[in-house]
Structure 1
Amino acid sequence: MTDIDPLVPALAGLLIDNLWFLDSCDEDEVDSDSAVRVLESAASALKGLPPEQLDRFLLVIGNLTEAETDPGRREFMEAFPFACGLVEEV
């Protein structure tokens, strides 16, 4: 596996933060239909990555998850690949 550009973990973390916000906010903060559309759009874009890039993205998410100290964010990050259909539950 090639080295991962330091920009990738930063961008992956920002993506997670934004999707976690949309997933956990109340309807008075963000319209739930709009939030679902954004979440589905992100999942679709990630599923469209070439397999090698998706593997690297999942590796980065795994590393970020291991280092995460906030229990809520960590729980979201652990479920993220499964919830988006990027991996199948075993």
Structure 2
Amino acid sequence: MTDRDPLVPALTGLLVDIVWWLESCEDEEVDPDSAVKMMEGMGWTLLQLSSEQRQSLLQVLADLAEGEEDPARREFLESFPVAIGMVEDQED
């Protein structure tokens, strides 16, 4: 892990947890249209980052996944860049 502000991994982890929660909510908990709007808004905001900032975020996500002990959360951290639209799915 590089020399970065510890707030960045903490906020990145929170962002991932919010998206994970939105994806796993039942329709009675959160309106599906609202959840999609929120996730699209987050994805759009992340796509507005500079290339360098996106690469830094991808590295933070990789570092968080590497250190994650919960297999389900690790898998979600690894899939997050594709799920939020930051990178294309590499499985062709």
The corresponding residue for 1:9 is 9
Letter in 1 for 2:4: I
For structure 2, the 5+ residue unaligned runs are: none
1:85 CA displacement: 2.1
Task: Give % identity.
Answer: 53
For structure 1, the 5+ residue unaligned runs are: none
Alignment of 1:1-90 (within 5 A): 3-90=3-90
4+ long deviations beyond 2 Å: none
Q: Distance in 2 between matches of 1:31 and 1:72?
A: 24
1:38-88 residue CA offsets vs partner (Å, 9 max, x unmatched) = 111111100110111111111001100111122222221111111222122
Q: Which range is displaced more, 48-57 or 73-82?
A: 73-82
TM-score, normalised with respect to structure 1: 0.90
Q: Distance in 1 between matches of 2:25 and 2:75?
A: 16
TM-score, normalised with respect to structure 2: 0.88
Q: How many residues align?
A: 89
